Amino acid sequence: MIILMIHRTGQATLSFIILISGLILEIAVAGSFVTYFLSSSGLGERLSARALSVASSGIRDAEIRLVRAGTLCGNIDTYTISLDQDTASVSASKVVIGENCEYTITSIGSAGTRQRKLVAVLLMNTTTGLAELRSVNERPVQ
């Protein structure tokens, strides 16, 4: 009779150990998911900052190309620049206002899965060749 009581006590202990082990395993898996998602959100922020930086570089590159073109109120074709693994697609449109040319430069920076778009307005005087950056604004990428 004593042997049967010990055997039943062991069954309850085994069930308790399996229950506690399952809870510990579930907490460990949930912790790994939380860690993964927190690190992924940080990666997204870094990619977004890199995309903004490469878009800004595209604006600056277009300014330099327009100033160095040699012909006042020249045109600029759409082009792409690469910085490490990131790219910027740059385009410009021109409107002539009296003796000034107003360029609207659009640069879309891409880093990984993130994209940022900057639009700049550059005013260039055809007489003096003075180039003045009027504004740089971020717009939503469509």
Condensed to tens digits (0 to 9), the pLDDT of residues 123-142 reads: 988 888 888 999 999 999 88
Strand partners, 101: 96, 124
Give 6's pLDDT tier (boundaries 50, 70, 90).
low
Residue 73 DSSP one-character state:
T
Sign of the C-alpha dihedral computed for residues 105, 110, 111 and 117 taken in this order: positive
Measured CA to CA, the distance from residue 39 to residue 108 in angstroms comes to 26
Condensed to tens digits (0 to 9), the pLDDT of residues 56-86 reads: 999 999 998 888 876 667 778 899 999 889 9
> What is the chain's length?
142
Residue, of 97 and 70, whose pLDDT is higher: 97
Please state the domain extents for the chain.
2-139
Q: Report the run of H or E that residue 102 belongs to, with start and end.
A: strand 100-111
Instruction: Say what the pTM is.
Output: 0.71
- Residue given tokens 């490469």 in the structure block: 54
